[in-house]
Amino acid sequence: MKNSFLLSASILLTGCVLGTSSEIKTAEKLLSQFQCNNIETAELAHSSINTYHERSLAVSKEKATEYIDRYKSGDELFKIPLDEVVQQQYDIYKTACESLGGVQHSTVSNAKNK
């Protein structure tokens, strides 16, 4: 009885670690897509909306990086999977990039399926 409990606990923990590892890999793959190109900040008009979008670029990438780092440290900050949280930040980043006239070389519509 005791052995079966230990075996069950081991299998459960192994499954959790493998799931966590997969989430981290997917989240890191998404993080590598946080690139906004062809924005000439010197040529951008200094307006409050452009400042907002520039800040959104920086903050969304910082948040995604922090979430991944904290998740690796064992902190589970959200009830949804890490890769979904990073995807939400990526969507914010992408919108800000496009609003500033930037382009992204590769698109990530659903990194989980890749």
Answer for the pair 32, 108: CB distance below 8 angstroms, yes or no: no
> For residue 9, what are the CA distances in angstroms to 6, 69, 76, 109?
5, 26, 20, 36
| pLDDT in the model for residue 70 | 95
Range from 74-78, 80-84, 101-105, 110-114 that averages highest in pLDDT: 80-84
Q: Which domain holds residue 12?
A: 2-113
Answer for the pair 103, 55: CB distance below 8 angstroms, yes or no: no
5-9, 58-62, 80-84, 104-108: least confident range:
5-9
Q: What is the pLDDT of residues 21-48, one digit of tens each?
A: 899 999 999 999 999 988 776 666 788 9
| pLDDT in the model for residue 16 | 46
Phi, psi of 91 (to 5 degrees): -60, -40
The number of domains in the chain is 1
Q: How far apart are CA 13 and CA 26, in angstroms?
A: 20
Q: How far apart are CA 24 and CA 83, in angstroms?
A: 7
Instruction: Please give the structure tokens belonging to residue 27.
Output: 């989240």
Instruction: Answer whether residue 86 shows pLDDT above 70.
Output: yes
